[in-house]
Chain A
Amino acid sequence: MTRPGSSGRFHGGISLLALAFLGLFLLYPLWFVLRSSVQDEAGAFTLAAYAQVLSSRYYVGSLGNSLAAGAMSMALASLIGVPLAFCLARLDVPGRPLLLALASVPIVLPSFVGAYALVLLFGHAGIVTAALRSMGIAAGSIYGMAGIVTVFTLTLYPYVLLPTLAGFRAVDASMEEAARNLGASRWHAFRTVLFPIVAPSVLAGALLVFIEALENFGVPAVLAEDRPFLALDIFKLFAGESDPNVAAAGALSVLLVGCTVVMLLLQRAYLAHRRFATNARRGAALIPVSRRWRLLATAFCWGVVLLSLLPFAAVVVISFQHFQGPVLSWQPGLGNYRNLLKGSYRPLANTLALASLAAVAATVLGAPVGYVLARQRSRVSAVLSIVATMPFAVSGTVLGIGLVIAFNDGWPVLTGGWLILVVAYVVRKLPLSVRSASAIVHQIDPALEEASISLGLSPTRTFLTLTVPLMLGGLAGGMVLVWVTATAEISSTIVLYSSRWTTMTVMMLQSLEGTAPGEAAAAASILILFTAAPLLLVYRLLRRQGGSLL
């Protein structure tokens, strides 16, 4: 459907518009980051910043720590996610639908809130630590690598679980039966038929875990203490109180984005050649197992899912307890919330307004892009597809720095206002809305649009009067997803916010440093409420779009 005069022009127009937006607000800022890393004060080309960074033991350690945390989280998330997916797909575990819904919650919950929960429970002044200390038991430290990897694993494992589960379900029963029929044992069939089909999904999800862990700002911000971590150091170098060094921040940013881009390219290259059996006519049947195994599987599934949600639940419970200074006294009350909001409702209102604007804008931009990507195969759409997934590979902190450098002076000046936050959110969340729109469009028979065109409506009018109404239900799901994740955004917000446009996440991070754990817990609970509740509300809608959550 590429007529030069009609559909082609429509698709081309949308592609160019989207490319212009991403060019201006993603590539152009990144170009500034790159430039700042290879220029000295006079503007001459130099690699001094890289030499400085790479010869510093501290920054090499920072790179090493981040990569190690990413790799370990990836391995652990797979170790949890794959068996969990298998149990949910093939074993008779009670409460599977509920389990699945709960298991997708950690993806949208702000991971640094999980980290904070750990601090609240097991930190230096943590509740559990204090209780243990009073019993004379010395608990190990949760700060540093161990705590960070724990939080990453428990919040990111759904990235492995969801695609792997979809993979297990996409294997048509007849395929496995055929293998068994040919004389393969169950284990042999798993190894030779099932696993090769599912492996690409596992790897794709695992690499996403790596990328997310690598570029995450919030979790190390809470748990690293003085240990170097890449995203954290970039921020400190750029905006630190003590001698900011933009060139070094730029060099580290380039290294970080380089790592994530390599990972994303690996993932795409690997997936491109391995797309098996995605349309099962008949899902594989549950495997009958003995009572003991069933019990074990049930304990494992519920154990993992509840464990991953436990810290969040603990924060909510604690937020309703009374604090005397930093000391918890188990008396229920709303005092923390009163103290938190006593200052002003402004951060809460900011968060809601910014997230709503971003959700609407990302959807309005993402829906046509998702449509073009689903319907058209051309060189422009191939470029668009790559550029539209790029935000995944660009850490929020780096994007924030780029936006600040690019729009600090000259025209237009955006820094310090609300618009730059919305722009950052839209850029960062665009892949989500594009993917969810694509997923819906794939379910709309292209013949419907062709029928409309041959009945006399131009492609643009057909899109507006036929396709958009057909997409609406699904778009709402994607919109909520953007809203929820924008609400929890911290890594670019921390670079871009101004005192007038402080958000809940910033406030939460600031109150961590203060001595009012009760208020931090209240802020965390509000964030949990505003992320988990909408997700569960549209959960059914999202499931129908088949894994567009990722």
Chain B
Amino acid sequence: MTAIRLDAVVRTFGSVRAVDAISATIAEGELFTLLGPSGCGKTTLLRMIAGFSDVESGSIWFGDQRIDQVPAHRRNVGMVFQSYAVFPNLTVEQNVAYGLRARRVSRRDIRDRVAEALALVQLPAHNTRWPHELSGGQLQRVAIARCLVIKPAVLLFDEPLSNLDAQLRMHMRVEIRRLQKSLGLTAIYVTHDQEEALAISDRIAVLRDGRIEQVGTPETIYRAPQTAFVAEFMGSTNIILGVAAGFDGSATTVAAGGAMFQVRGRAGAPGAKVLLSIRPETMRLAGCPDAGGPTLAVRLQLREFLGPLLRLHAALPDGTPIRVVTLGGQGAQPAADGTLNLIYDPGQIIAYPAP
């Protein structure tokens, strides 16, 4: 059990600031996720913590021990790689025993601890199979067991599930979470899949161009994104450019996409440019029994039937595209001219100052 503290760590590659003065504190036993688009510096940051990438400035602490100058092999971190990195020349058992051998643990203890670790990841004990005989999911279990067995101070995951198929991915992330919680390990998890991040994390840090854009619990990040970037990255929200008009004491009127929107609170000074974030699932079709609130007329362009859900692609009066997601059962019949009336909740629209 170790807390991790990052203090203004920097790493540049040529002119690219891959990690740009990131500071964060990860509590003991917490699963902390680094989330962000490709190239935002997630892997680089993780590798700095593991010791595979130089820290140019700043410091990294495990508890009260500063480790950024400690060589990688003395940091006692368990790292799970995207490619599994299971040693092809060793059997499953030998793979798991690898770190214990390095630590000169006695033969008997090695046997017991390996069996224990294999049981944790639900693989049979005394496993003398070769890696090439295993499936992707089994390989990932071996990789995890190999890390757990050395009782690491922290666990690091770099997109561990991206090589698995969708179903297995769902299953494995539940297992990883269960193991991490029951063992009380501090973990940093890298992914670019926002659903995975929401499902697995205690807290999420959304990264952009080497900087942390926002840190918070999955709910905060999803419901109260602090920037348009976070809002857009966390679930495909509609971002619409508009101009703020009057504020009537509880809501601001914003002209956007050729329509007028009601946004709760003061969205901006009159005449200020704003970005509105409207999540597709917060809008309803007019005519639904439980719906009430301001309405919006859009032109339906395409409907995608997704089983439980129905996704509508529509256009605002000036042609700006907008997406709406409703339950699949709702009939969405547009009027003869293709117009469809939507009802929205002013409290669900978030306005950001436009850059």
Q: Which residues of A contact B (CB under 8 A)?
A: 1-7, 445, 447-448, 450-459, 461-462, 466, 469-470
Contact = CB atoms under 8 A, between A and B. Distances in A.
Interface stretch (B78-86, B115-123, B233-241, B299-307): B78-86
Contact of A445 (B79, B85, B89, B99): B85
Contact of B87 (A3, A6, A454, A466): A466
Nearest to B78: A454
Pick from A3, A7, A452, A454 the residue with the most CB of B within 10 Å.
A454
Given A3-B54, A454-B51, A455-B99, 13 more contacts: A5-B69, A445-B83, A447-B85, A448-B85, A448-B88, A450-B79, A452-B87, A453-B72, A453-B73, A454-B78, A456-B102, A457-B102, A458-B71
A445 B146 CA distance: 17
A457 B73 contact: yes
Interface of B: 50-54, 69-79, 81-83, 85, 87-89, 98-99, 102-103, 143, 146-147, 150
A-B pairs, top 5 by smallest CB distance, nearest first, are A455-B99, A6-B71, A447-B85, A456-B102, A451-B85
Contacts of B79: 450-451, 454
Nearest to A2: B54
A156 B95 CA distance: 46
Contacts of A450: 50, 52, 72, 79, 81, 85
Tell me whether chain B's interface is mostly helix, strand or loop, or mixed: loop
Contact of B52 (A1, A461, A466): A1
B73 A459 contact: yes
A4 to B, nearest CB: 8
A454 B88 contact: no
Pick from A452, A456, A459, A462 the residue with the most CB of B within 10 Å.
A456
B262 to A, nearest CB: 51
A462 B73 CA distance: 10
Contacts of A461: 102
A1 B89 CA distance: 23
A61 B112 CA distance: 79
18 contacts: A1-B53, A4-B54, A5-B70, A5-B71, A448-B85, A448-B88, A450-B50, A450-B72, A451-B85, A451-B87, A453-B72, A454-B79, A456-B76, A456-B103, A456-B150, A457-B102, A469-B89, A470-B89
Contacts of B50: 450, 454
A431 B280 CA distance: 61
B154 to A, nearest CB: 11
A6 to B, nearest CB: 4
Contacts of A469: 89
Contacts of B82: 447
Contact of A7 (B72, B74, B89): B72
Contacts of A455: 73, 98-99, 102, 146-147, 150
A6 B77 CA distance: 16
A316 to B, nearest CB: 41
A7 B52 CA distance: 9
A451 B83 CA distance: 11
B253 to A, nearest CB: 51
Contacts of A462: 73
B51 A3 contact: yes
Given A3-B51, A450-B79, A456 B73 contact: yes
Contact of A452 (B53, B75, B98, B103): B98
Contacts of B85: 445, 447-448, 450-451
A466 B101 CA distance: 13
Nearest to B143: A451
A454 B158 CA distance: 14
A447 B81 contact: yes
Nearest to A1: B52
Nearest to A454: B79
Contacts of A457: 73, 102
Nearest to A6: B71
Given A1-B52, A448-B85, A454 B75 contact: yes
A470 B131 CA distance: 14
